Chains A and B, each alone.
Chain A
Amino acid sequence: MSECNEQILQFAPFESFVSPTFWHKLAELKLDYDRLSDAERSVFGHYTNRKASGCLLEVDYSAYNSAAQPPKFSHAAVGTIYNKNTIEEFKALDKTALLAAEGKRLLADMKNGRVLNDASLLARFTVLSFADLKSHSYYYWFAFPCPLTPTLRLHCDPLRLKGLPESSRYIDAICALPAESQNFFILYANEEQMLWETRSLSGFNEQEAEHYYYCFADPSEYENPAWLMRNYVAFLLQQCPKLVGQTLKFMGLRYDQQMQLDNSLIWQVSQAEPCDYEQVQFVGWELNRNGKMGPRMVNMRDSMDPAKLAENVINLNLKLMKWRLVPDLNLEILAATKCLLFGAGTLGCAVARNLLSWGFKHITLLDNGKVGYSNPVRQSLYTHADAVAGNRMKATTAASRLLEINPSTVSKGFVLEIPMLGHTIGESLRSQTEEHLKLIEQQVQAHDVIFLLTDSRESRWLPTLLGAAHEKIVINAALGFDSYLVMRHGSNREMVGDVIQEIDGLKCISGQQLGCYFCNDVTAPGNVSNQL
Chain B
Amino acid sequence: MTTLTWPEFLSQAKQLLEISTRLGDNWILYEKDDQEGNSFLKYTHKLRCGDSDDLINVEYHIVYSISYQVPVLYFQAHRSDGSLLDLEDTWKTFMPETPRSELYQMLTQMEHPALFRPFMAFHPCRTTEILSQFGKPSRNVLITFISLYGPYVQLNLVNAYGLDTH
Q: Identify the A interface with B (CB < 8 A).
A: 15-20, 22-23, 51, 53-54, 56, 71-73, 138, 255, 257-259, 296-300, 302-303, 309, 312-313, 316, 319-320, 323-324, 327
**B26 near A56 (CB under 8 angstroms)?**
no
CA distance A54 to B23 in the complex (A): 24
**B80 near A257 (CB under 8 angstroms)?**
no
Within 8 A of A (CB), among B4-60: 23-26, 28, 45-46, 48, 55, 57
Grouping DSSP codes into helix (H, G, I), strand (E, B) and loop, the B interface class, with mixed when no group exceeds half, is mixed
CA distance A257 to B82 in the complex (A): 25
Any chain A CB within 8 A of the CB of B158?
yes
Give the segment of B64-72, B100-108, B130-138, B145-153 that binds chain A.
B100-108
Within 8 A of A (CB), among B80-115: 80-84, 86-87, 100-101, 104-105, 108-109
**B55 near A19 (CB under 8 angstroms)?**
no
CA distance A313 to B86 in the complex (A): 11
Q: Identify the B interface with A (CB < 8 A).
A: 23-26, 28, 45-46, 48, 55, 57, 78, 80-84, 86-87, 100-101, 104-105, 108-109, 118, 158
- The answer to whether residues A298 and B101 also contact, given A257-B158, A316-B87 and a CB cut-off of 8 A, is no
Q: Which of A17, A259, A313 contacts B55 (CB 8 A)?
A: A17
**A324 near B104 (CB under 8 angstroms)?**
yes
**A19 near B82 (CB under 8 angstroms)?**
yes
15 contacts between A and B (CB under 8 A): A18-B82, A19-B78, A20-B82, A20-B83, A20-B84, A56-B55, A72-B26, A72-B28, A255-B24, A257-B24, A297-B81, A298-B83, A302-B84, A312-B86, A324-B104
**A300 near B86 (CB under 8 angstroms)?**
no
**B84 near A303 (CB under 8 angstroms)?**
yes
Give the residues in chain B near A15, CB-CB below 8 Å: 55, 80
**B26 near A298 (CB under 8 angstroms)?**
no
**Ordered nearest first, which 6 A-B pairs have the shortest CB separation?**
A259-B24, A298-B81, A18-B82, A53-B46, A20-B82, A17-B80
Give the residues in chain A near B57, CB-CB below 8 Å: 17, 19
Give the residues in chain A near B108, CB-CB below 8 Å: 316, 320
Give the residues in chain B near A296, CB-CB below 8 Å: 81
Q: Which of A17, A53, A316, A323 contacts B100 (CB 8 A)?
A: A323
CA distance A313 to B101 in the complex (A): 18
**B83 near A299 (CB under 8 angstroms)?**
yes
Task: Output the least CB separation between A227 and chain B (Å).
Answer: 16
Given A18-B81, A19-B78, A23-B82, 6 extra CB contacts under 8 A: A15-B55, A17-B55, A54-B55, A56-B46, A298-B83, A312-B86
**B80 near A18 (CB under 8 angstroms)?**
yes
Give the residues in chain A near B86, CB-CB below 8 Å: 302, 312
User: Smallest CB-CB separation from A256: which chain B residue?
Assistant: B24
Task: Output the least CB separation between A25 and chain B (Å).
Answer: 11
**A313 near B46 (CB under 8 angstroms)?**
no
Give the residues in chain A near B84, CB-CB below 8 Å: 20, 302-303
**A313 near B26 (CB under 8 angstroms)?**
no
Give the residues in chain B near A303, CB-CB below 8 Å: 83-84
Interface centre among A18, A71, A259, A327, by most chain B C-beta atoms within 10 angstroms, is A18
- The answer to whether residues A316 and B83 also contact, given A53-B55, A258-B24, A323-B104 and a CB cut-off of 8 A, is no
**B118 near A313 (CB under 8 angstroms)?**
yes
CA distance A65 to B100 in the complex (A): 43
Task: Output the least CB separation between B5 and chain A (Å).
Answer: 30
User: Smallest CB-CB separation from A322: which chain B residue?
Assistant: B104
User: Smallest CB-CB separation from A15: which chain B residue?
Assistant: B80
Give the residues in chain B near A324, CB-CB below 8 Å: 104-105
Give the residues in chain B near A71, CB-CB below 8 Å: 26
Give the residues in chain A near B105, CB-CB below 8 Å: 324
Give the residues in chain B near A53, CB-CB below 8 Å: 46, 48, 55
CA distance A299 to B113 in the complex (A): 26
CA distance A32 to B52 in the complex (A): 38
Task: Output the least CB separation between B118 and chain A (Å).
Answer: 6
Interface centre among A22, A313, A316, by most chain B C-beta atoms within 10 angstroms, is A316
Give the residues in chain B near A302, CB-CB below 8 Å: 83-84, 86
CA distance A138 to B48 in the complex (A): 24
Task: Output the least CB separation between A10 and chain B (Å).
Answer: 21
User: Smallest CB-CB separation from A71: which chain B residue?
Assistant: B26
CA distance A312 to B48 in the complex (A): 26
Give the residues in chain A near B87, CB-CB below 8 Å: 316
Give the residues in chain A near B45, CB-CB below 8 Å: 51
User: Smallest CB-CB separation from B28: which chain A residue?
Assistant: A72
CA distance A312 to B82 in the complex (A): 18
CA distance A299 to B25 in the complex (A): 33
CA distance A171 to B34 in the complex (A): 41
Task: Output the least CB separation between A70 and chain B (Å).
Answer: 12
Task: Output the least CB separation between A57 and chain B (Å).
Answer: 10
Give the residues in chain B near A18, CB-CB below 8 Å: 80-82
